[in-house]
Structure 1
Amino acid sequence: MKEKLLEIINNPKYQPLTVSELTALLNLGKNGQILIDELAKDKEVFYSKSKERLLNHQQAGIFKGKLSVAKDGYGFIKSEGFEIDFFVPKTKLNGALDKDIVLFTIHDYLNKSKNEKQEAHIIEVIERHLKYIIGEVVQKNKELLLASDETVLPLHFNKLEKVKEGQVVRCKIINYNNDYLEGEVVEVIGNSTDIGMDITIIARKYGFEAEFPQEVIDEVNNLSEDLTNEIKRREFIDRTIITIDGADAKDLDDAVSIRKLKNGNYELGVYIADVSYYVPKDSEIDKEALKRGTSVYLIDRVIPMLPKRISNNICSLNENENKLVIACIMEINNKGKIIDTVLKEAVIKTKHRMTYDSINEIIEGNEKAINKYNNIYNDVLLMQELSEILEKMRGIRGSVDFDIPESEVIVDEKGKPIEIRKRERKESEKFIESFMICANEATATMITNMKLPFIYRVHDEPSEDRLNTFVTVIKLFGYPIKQKIRKITPSQVQDLIGIIKEEDKFLNSLLLRMMSKAIYSRNNIGHFGLSSLIYTHFTSPIRRYPDLLVHRLIRKYLFTTDFSNLNSLEEYIDDVASQSSKQERAAMNCEYDVIDMKKAEYMEGFIGVKYSGVITSVTSFGMFIEVLGAIEGLVKLSEMRGYKYDDQKMSIVSVNGKGSYKIGDKLQVKVVSAIKKKGEINFEIVYNKNTKSARTTNKKRNYGGSRNERRKENHRYK
């Protein structure tokens, strides 16, 4: 009935009613006052000053939203029903912190239109986001405080005997004040000088911890590796099965085989570690895996979803060891179409633990590699042949491949960054990825045809506004886009990528940022980026929880033909999809923050050095410049005297019309600051007689190339 009450009160035509009038209208009886009081307590409705009538947010002039606090202390509020963000001055935060849910009033609300730039004043925090905080114990004015990049406010300790200067601690916030926080130390994580502590702090901030609870360890220690009871499983002894992974990988959860059939079709075998056999639902291991949602791959470590005895030993498809798998055997014709799919429980023994480099050497004709792996030489060539067929097929149907290299940070034994470079995808990586996509599609199609609850990997089409933002930019480069785009197909996106010249490849990154994010869902809407009608994640149950759930559903539906409790299963799938999507985003942001931090640390050694760069992004607060092919820094607009941001052209233009900066422009910059803790790198333009006429001012430099000001979209959207 709360929903019905809110529907009436939030109706645009609603005129304030009394409690008795609302109660009578909905025939609520004695429960009416109770329900309304609960809604008022939750700040969903408000009493008038006379306490007689009920008001909605608009009538009360009080709104609810989520606060984002900038590093300089001011904030912005996003509120449902408004297209704009509300600016909050530092003096009007009223003790609210980043990501808090707040109630606010709008300054001069009645005299401004709904979407005009407006200022908000926070009147109350109704939900705190930050309950625990991690940071370093520092001394300031002879007092020990907690310094953390999670808040601009200092934290005072309620008990000083537990802390020492230089320690990294986790605190529970026990008191929120407008000017400071008070906290209780609940864990000493280590010392700030410990090797890798900088990465540990970021990982813990996102909730990722290397250590597992004792109850999980106890369950893992009791797992048996005896496969005697699984002799009924099919053994693919007539297949040459290999793993292909990075040289450092230890959690080998997929293997492949290939052969040509008599009818000319290909038989592709994808064998995935049967993690669900060892990790039953609601076990302690399972609960922790769902909580983590994913493994996190950082520069110097992996924080696994599952304990290492499972991920690196029991379930890892190590060379010449019998391992339990779920096998996906697909027959594929010479057009790349999957003709038939079989899913089986199996026991396999991989013949070789191959690396991407060793496979590439075979493909490139390296005689030493060919001789060493002579028994799989023909298989590798057949894999390459099938991969090319699949790539062509996906190109025809419109699958989008941005092929944007990722940054790779190389650190020494002390964790110091010594090199930053672009990491190119190797040919072998591409065809393994292609085979995994096949298995994911085949599995999803098989279960979908059974019309049973399932979890999908879905990717929505980009919004019209985002598409036309890209069109605005690409037209500036002379590309033949004649009209606004209302709806776009994956094929058209691929066509856009296809016409972009080599020297303009940075536009791919911009187009990528226009795309929606892929998520997990029980409701299938297809996968826009892959141009796939039905898609899931089946191939990585060691490191992704949705894949583990897919394996359980396969076992339930296909291997044990159990179709019970489908209603409760739907609710469970919804919960898993939501949690997994949330944890995937957290892991992605954690990985980016670590990389940004290490890039800033690397550039600390190059203050004052000049570089040639290219503008990769232009925003309302400045422009990002890429140097060395892998490192971005910010030239802040406030430092460019005589220039302003033109949102129509997505450019920074001279106020006198004599110059402009847009994406793709090349220029020289100098490193003026690099702040490791904030992941910030800041540049200023180096001017010469060939440089446009902008000049930076020396007044109160306030550089802010923060990772939080522009977060790159994850291009691993598949």
Structure 2
Amino acid sequence: MGADTAEPAMRGGGGGARPSGVVVGIVRRAWRPYACVLDPDSAMGSQYLAEPLDTRIPKINLTTRQAEMLRGKLILVSVDLWDAGHRFPTGHYVRTLGAVGDKEAESEAILIEHEVNCAPFSPQVQACLPAKGWTIPEAEIARRLDLRDGGPSGKVLVCSVDPPGCVDIDDALHAYELAPGKYEVGVHIADVGHFIKGGTAIDAEAAARGTTVYLVNKRIDMVPKRLGEDLCSLHEKVDRLAFSCIWEVDAEANILSSRYEKTVIRSAGALSYDEAQARLDDTRLDDPLTASLRILNTLAKQLKARRMAAGALVLGSPEVRFVLDSETSDPTDVGIYKHKDANSMVEEFMLLANCSVAAATTAAFPKCAMLRRHPPPLPGAFESLKRSLGQHGFELDDASSLALGRSLDACAKPDDPYFNQLTRILATRAMQQARYFSSGAAPPSEYVHYGLACPIYTHFTSPIRRYSDQMVHRLLAAIIGWEPLSSDVLDARAMTDLTDNLNHRHTMAQYAGRASVGLHTLIFFRGKEVVEDAHVIKVRDNGVVVLVPRYGIEGVIFVCGAGERNPFAFDEAAETLRAPGCSLSTFDKVRVRIHVNTEKAHKPKLELSIVEPQLPARAG
């Protein structure tokens, strides 16, 4: 049942055999309430089976006299016991979330299934916030570097660049020319640490939540809205507290000097990516803000080129974007998000800040720095992809990240512009996940971030949305003598417990976001039947997995059902299904029909089927 804590018994493995074991007891059950639907076909008197949305969890025996009221509803069921000899556990009804297919009920179920705390912040947490009408005290301004009105040089012009409608603005930038071939660049991050102190109720709550969770139709905040959307958010033309990284760089973006400062800023503009891109593209504009953006963009391209030369990877994942109805919030269109130069510009300077701060905090606190590593791929991780690419005449070299990056660049087909992107998506999936850790928990040789080709990395740039960044801010504040570290930051065990929780919360947030995309995709395709191009991304003995680039949809298509004769032969070495006049291999382009299957009214699902090429008839 999920992640039960088990007590294992080891069995010997003489002669070099791999050790094996058997579970002899469950020390602690990982039971929790599960979002379920009642199976209407399972009735035996007042006994029913509740089907958890999490397919890893078995059905749950439920006794209820409210079955008619619960049909077609999402319900919360708690497990009570699982007797030995019984196929399914027994549980009880907790409450109704809403109707199956209802966006709010389904979204609540997603949050429950992914352990996301969406409860209102407690009075104790709210009491940690400043009184209404708070403004920055003059004494606080006096102890900081004041970058308003151009700062000491008179040339600092700060702006932020974010997705449209962003209200929790973590970061802002500035750049200006110091002398021919020399520039000052600043990354300014919301100073959440001014409002959240270690040992307070708001700090404990932020640490427990770990991260802000983004669903398609809502955001579950890590910190109270007044903090994230107002007091800390770097809105334009408003005085805000920031923690700033400021560098002097040359024309090739080599760092000549760096410093870290607690600052006061006043953003000259809160731009969307499209607005920033329009300024970069419009050659008629020569105002100071546009000039600053152009310096940043030019330097960002230098930074990116240097990262690529060092072995950083351009990876891929389908990033789905929905257009929501302004009244109902139902999706009216869905597609893949397109990145522009403005996106890359911001990304490069956030990476630079994260790398710089990682090096500084680890040098000062080698045993307790909060870092993020991306381990190299496991041996054999790319074997399947290598075989598939080999069928198309390409060779994948994974000896190093640099070799892998060059191989990925070479995997391109003039007649198939999506081939390279698909290769990068599959390569990304073969890699390990990045994880938070404390520097004292691993040797320096394991600090590396493989995907970024960076020897040391952390998260500093999003403290409104990530608790890891708040911890990094505390370390950096101690380095510049702003305030001392609390004892828990220096406690190795406490830091390990914290990073374990942050890794778990980060993973759950990602899964919740993907589930929300799946829900809104299902809503979008209700009542529709669409035929669209797709690409095979995995071949199994009884079917294929396809990806539909237009919508970012991924699904399994079976070539035979249970008990049916498989008309295809599976060539495992070539990862190909073969039948007379038809074959299916990884990277093949197919046409698929997309529709919502409502055969089980209590559990509708998105279904894909291949219409081109024509598959052999299925037979029993």
Q: TM-score range by the shorter chain?
A: 0.7 to 0.9
Offset of 1:601 from its aligned partner?
Answer: 3.6
- The answer to whether the 8 A contact 2:357-2:460 is kept is yes
Q: Residues 524-579 of structure 1, C-alpha deviation per residue, up to 9 Å, x if partnerless?
A: 52111111111110000000111011011112333247478488432222222111
Instruction: Give distance in 2, aligned partners of 1:167 and 1:221.
Output: 39
Residue of structure 1 equivalent to 2:115: 207
Q: Aligned to 2:578, which of 653, 657, 666?
A: 653
- Give the match's secondary structure for 2:282: coil
Offset of 1:677 from its aligned partner?
Answer: 7.9
- Pairing 1:26-65 to 2, within 5 Å after superposition: 43-45=7-9, 56-58=10-12
Q: Percent identity?
A: 20
Q: Aligned to 1:450, which of 354, 357, 364?
A: 364
Instruction: Give distance in 2, aligned partners of 1:58 and 1:357.
Output: 63
- The answer to whether the 8 A contact 1:328-1:342 is kept is yes
Q: Aligned to 2:545, which of 624, 629, 638?
A: 624
Residue of structure 2 equivalent to 1:391: 304
1:408 aligns with 2:321: yes
Instruction: Give distance in 1, aligned partners of 2:39 and 2:384.
Output: 45
Offset of 1:42 from its aligned partner?
Answer: 6.7
Which residue type is aligned with residue 611 of structure 2? Answer: V
Residue of structure 1 equivalent to 2:136: 227
Offset of 1:212 from its aligned partner?
Answer: 2.5
Which residue type is aligned with residue 128 of structure 1? Answer: R
Offset of 1:217 from its aligned partner?
Answer: 4.4
Deviates more, 1:282-291 or 1:129-138: 129-138
Cα distance 1:333–1:181, how it changes in 2: closer, same or farther (>3 A)? same
1:499 aligns with 2:405: no
- Pairing 1:166-245 to 2, within 5 Å after superposition: 168-177=74-83, 178-186=86-94, 189=97, 195-222=103-130, 225-228=134-137, 229-231=139-141, 232-237=143-148, 238=150, 239-245=156-162
Residue of structure 2 equivalent to 1:148: 52
Offset of 1:628 from its aligned partner?
Answer: 5.8
Q: Aligned to 1:135, which of 22, 29, 36?
A: 36
Instruction: Give distance in 1, aligned partners of 2:489 and 2:534.
Output: 56
Residue of structure 2 equivalent to 1:489: 400
Cα distance 1:420–1:334, how it changes in 2: closer, same or farther (>3 A)? same
Deviates more, 1:283-292 or 1:674-683: 674-683
Instruction: Give distance in 1, aligned partners of 2:163 and 2:432.
Output: 29
Instruction: Give distance in 2, aligned partners of 1:144 and 1:411.
Output: 41
Instruction: Give distance in 2, aligned partners of 1:411 and 1:698.
Output: 43
Aligned residues: 577
- The answer to whether the 8 A contact 2:252-2:299 is kept is no
Residue of structure 1 equivalent to 2:424: 508
Instruction: Give distance in 2, aligned partners of 1:44 and 1:181.
Output: 22
Offset of 1:283 from its aligned partner?
Answer: 1.8
Q: Aligned to 1:430, which of 341, 344, 365?
A: 344
Residue of structure 1 equivalent to 2:560: 638
Instruction: Give distance in 1, aligned partners of 2:390 and 2:538.
Output: 16
- The answer to whether the 8 A contact 1:103-1:124 is kept is no
- The answer to whether the 8 A contact 1:216-1:288 is kept is no
- The answer to whether the 8 A contact 2:556-2:608 is kept is yes
RMSD: 3.2
Which residue type is aligned with residue 321 of structure 1? Answer: V
Instruction: Give distance in 1, aligned partners of 2:400 and 2:371.
Output: 20
Q: Residues 486-537 of structure 1, C-alpha deviation per residue, up to 9 Å, x if partnerless?
A: x622211210121011522211111111122111112352111111111110
- The answer to whether the 8 A contact 1:457-1:518 is kept is yes
Offset of 1:349 from its aligned partner?
Answer: 1.2
Q: Residues 116-168 of structure 1, C-alpha deviation per residue, up to 9 Å, x if partnerless?
A: xxxxxxx865553332212356867575865531344144257969x866665
- The answer to whether the 8 A contact 2:126-2:224 is kept is no
Offset of 1:397 from its aligned partner?
Answer: 1.2
- Pairing 1:236-635 to 2, within 5 Å after superposition: 236-237=147-148, 238=150, 239-262=156-179, 264-365=181-282, 370=285, 374-412=287-325, 413-452=327-366, 453-480=368-395, 488-502=399-413, 503=416, 504-505=419-420, 506-522=422-438, 523=442, 524=444, 525-560=447-482, 562=484, 565=487, 568-607=490-529, 609-627=530-548, 629-630=550-551, 631-635=553-557
Offset of 1:611 from its aligned partner?
Answer: 3.6
Offset of 1:189 from its aligned partner?
Answer: 4.5
Instruction: Give distance in 2, aligned partners of 1:182 and 1:551.
Output: 47
- The answer to whether the 8 A contact 1:405-1:424 is kept is no
Offset of 1:377 from its aligned partner?
Answer: 1.8
- The answer to whether the 8 A contact 2:538-2:546 is kept is yes
- The answer to whether the 8 A contact 1:651-1:663 is kept is yes
Which residue type is aligned with residue 405 of structure 2? Answer: Q
Which residue type is aligned with residue 572 of structure 2? Answer: D
Which residue type is aligned with residue 256 of structure 1? Answer: L
Instruction: Give distance in 1, aligned partners of 2:546 and 2:72.
Output: 35
- The answer to whether the 8 A contact 1:310-1:316 is kept is yes
- The answer to whether the 8 A contact 2:324-2:330 is kept is yes
Residue of structure 1 equivalent to 2:153: none
Offset of 1:190 from its aligned partner?
Answer: 5.1
Instruction: Give distance in 2, aligned partners of 1:677 and 1:576.
Output: 39
- The answer to whether the 8 A contact 1:458-1:521 is kept is yes
Offset of 1:396 from its aligned partner?
Answer: 1.5
Which residue type is aligned with residue 470 of structure 1? Answer: L
Q: Residues 86-117 of structure 1, C-alpha deviation per residue, up to 9 Å, x if partnerless?
A: xxxxxxxxxxxxxxxx956xxxxxxxxxxxxx
Cα distance 1:364–1:157, how it changes in 2: closer, same or farther (>3 A)? farther
Offset of 1:400 from its aligned partner?
Answer: 0.7
Offset of 1:316 from its aligned partner?
Answer: 0.6
Which residue type is aligned with residue 136 of structure 2? Answer: L
- The answer to whether the 8 A contact 2:596-2:604 is kept is no
- Give the match's secondary structure for 1:572: helix
Cα distance 1:621–1:311, how it changes in 2: closer, same or farther (>3 A)? farther
Runs (5+) with no aligned partner, structure 1: 1-40, 46-55, 60-79, 83-101, 105-122, 700-718
Instruction: Give distance in 2, aligned partners of 1:251 and 1:695.
Output: 53
The runs of at least 4 consecutive aligned structure 1 residues that moved more than 4 Å come to 123-127, 136-147, 157-161, 163-169, 184-195, 220-224, 563-568, 675-680
Instruction: Give distance in 1, aligned partners of 2:130 and 2:76.
Output: 32
Cα distance 1:172–1:629, how it changes in 2: closer, same or farther (>3 A)? same
Q: Residues 296-331 of structure 1, C-alpha deviation per residue, up to 9 Å, x if partnerless?
A: 111111111111111101111111211111111122
Cα distance 1:572–1:330, how it changes in 2: closer, same or farther (>3 A)? farther
Cα distance 1:137–1:633, how it changes in 2: closer, same or farther (>3 A)? closer
Q: Which is higher, the Rg of structure 1 or of structure 2?
A: 1
Which residue type is aligned with residue 427 of structure 2? Answer: L
Offset of 1:467 from its aligned partner?
Answer: 2.5
Which residue type is aligned with residue 57 of structure 1? Answer: R
Runs (5+) with no aligned partner, structure 2: 151-155
Instruction: Normalising by structure 1, report the TM-score.
Output: 0.73
- The answer to whether the 8 A contact 1:597-1:680 is kept is no
- The answer to whether the 8 A contact 1:321-1:349 is kept is yes
